[in-house]
């Protein structure tokens, strides 16, 4: 990061400050979510074997193990069968490793290579979800080669309308990450721009879309496009985005990354780091209230009992993704270690 850029200024505004992280569960009253332990040893071993089948890179293997993606998959989809938990754990490894290829704090990839990976990934997705022509999977980048059979299973077993939605959200994620990589010139986004960027490039939308695969849901587009369900997906995405930004603030600032709601608010609104964190927590509470208001507007009954049941499962699944993200943040040790320092019941974060 060049000295004197807006990003450098934003970093200087908050680095060195001590923060108290609010209890993120308190922002989502009434949403119990998953409170259990890790997924089965069999799933964790299968994810390890799958990862080793396409890479021997020590840093990638370390990321896959440290992320505890079996736990994350079970947190996101607690009512899914074990096979689906395995598929989702592999998907989560893929999305984290794929995204890391565009993270300038951990990679030196040039834009030409980034664009090539984007194009390859879009062709892969369209082949599997939309029957577009394809080449030999052996020519793929390693992470895409590993994801190929998992993605093929998801596409084959998803209902027709669900398959279209999953493809749309995966494509949007791929395009957004690549576009942000191209545009990252040291400038700081406004709050609205940060929301727009994170809405697509945080990987939350496809994670929500995959609820339909995990539980075998078949919801017609005429129902899924109802404003209440669109609002529920928007607010769930916002909740995960903000909660993840708050939980991950320490390692992000340590690595010099300021694409975080706390840094964005501090830079744009003249807040201290603690003021920015507390304000973001208030935004979480507002998103929760908006979600619940939208739930009361669901177009139910629809006249089809099976569809009504699937809609309710989907909405519950959105809540589980929100609470599961928080549970994983606290229990994976990725952000705060195994025994974080606490003050007044809140986790202490030293930036």
The pLDDT of residue 1 = 44
Gyration radius (Cα) of the chain, Å: 20
- pLDDT tens string 256-287: 888 899 999 999 999 999 999 999 999 999 99
pLDDT band at 199; cut points 50, 70, 90:
confident
- pLDDT tens string 83-104: 999 999 999 999 999 998 887 5
Is the pLDDT reported for residue 151 higher than 50? yes
Nearest to 19 by CA among 213, 201, 253, 179: 253
The pLDDT of residue 34 = 66
Average pLDDT for the chain = 90
What is the phi/psi pair of residue 327, to 5°?
-60, -45
Nearest to 74 by CA among 37, 124, 114: 37
Q: What is the mean pLDDT of residues 199-204?
A: 82
pTM of the model: 0.93
Is the pLDDT reported for residue 133 higher than 70? yes
First to last CA, the chain: 18
121, HSE (Cβ side, Cα atoms, 13 Å): 28
Q: Is the dihedral of CA 212, 334, 150, 41 positive or negative?
A: negative
Asked if residues 187 and 6 have their Cβ atoms less than 8 Å apart, the reply is yes
Asked if residues 57 and 280 have their Cβ atoms less than 8 Å apart, the reply is no
- pLDDT tens string 291-308: 999 999 999 999 999 999
Q: Which domains does the chain have, with CATH numbers?
A: 25-350 (1.10.600.10)
Structure tokens at 107: 């990679």
Task: Report the percent of the chain where pLDDT is more than 90.
Answer: 70
Is the pLDDT reported for residue 3 higher than 70? no
- pLDDT tens string 211-248: 999 999 999 999 999 999 999 999 999 999 999 999 99
């Amino acid at each position: 990061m060049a000295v004197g850029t807006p990003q450098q200024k934003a970093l200087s505004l908050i680095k060195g400050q001590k923060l108290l992280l609010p209890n993120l569960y308190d922002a989502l009253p009434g949403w119990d979510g998953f409170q259990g332990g890790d997924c089965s040893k069999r799933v964790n071993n299968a994810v390890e074997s799958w990862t080793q089948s396409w890479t021997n890179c020590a840093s990638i293997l370390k990321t896959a193990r440290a992320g505890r993606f079996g736990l994350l998959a079970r947190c996101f989809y607690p009512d899914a069968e074990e096979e689906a938990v395995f598929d989702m754990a592999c998907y989560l490894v893929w999305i984290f490793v794929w995204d890391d290829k565009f993270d300038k704090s951990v990679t030196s990839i040039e834009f030409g290579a980034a664009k090539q990976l984007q194009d390859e990934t879009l062709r892969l997705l369209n082949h599997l979800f939309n029957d577009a022509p394809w080449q030999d999977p052996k020519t793929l980048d390693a992470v895409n080669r590993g994801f190929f059979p998992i993605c093929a299973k998801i596409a084959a077993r998803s209902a027709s309308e669900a398959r279209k939605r999953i493809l749309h959200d995966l494509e949007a994620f791929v395009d957004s990450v690549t576009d942000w990589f191209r545009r990252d010139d040291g400038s700081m986004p406004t709050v609205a721009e940060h929301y727009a960027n994170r809405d697509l490039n945080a990987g939350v939308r496809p994670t929500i879309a995959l609820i339909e695969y995990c539980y075998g849901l078949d919801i017609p587009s005429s129902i899924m496009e109802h404003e209440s369900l669109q609002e529920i997906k928007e607010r769930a995405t916002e909740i995960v985005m903000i909660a993840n930004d708050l939980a991950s603030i320490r390692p992000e600032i340590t690595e010099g990354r300021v694409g975080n709601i706390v840094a964005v608010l501090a830079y744009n609104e003249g807040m201290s780091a603690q003021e920015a964190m507390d304000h973001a927590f208030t935004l979480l509470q507002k998103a929760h209230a908006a979600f619940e208001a939208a739930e009361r507007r669901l177009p139910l009954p629809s006249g089809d009992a099976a569809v009504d049941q699937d809609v309710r499962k989907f909405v519950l699944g959105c809540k589980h993704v929100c609470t599961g993200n928080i549970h994983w943040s606290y229990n994976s040790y990725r952000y705060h270690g195994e025994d974080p320092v606490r003050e007044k019941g809140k986790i202490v974060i030293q930036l």
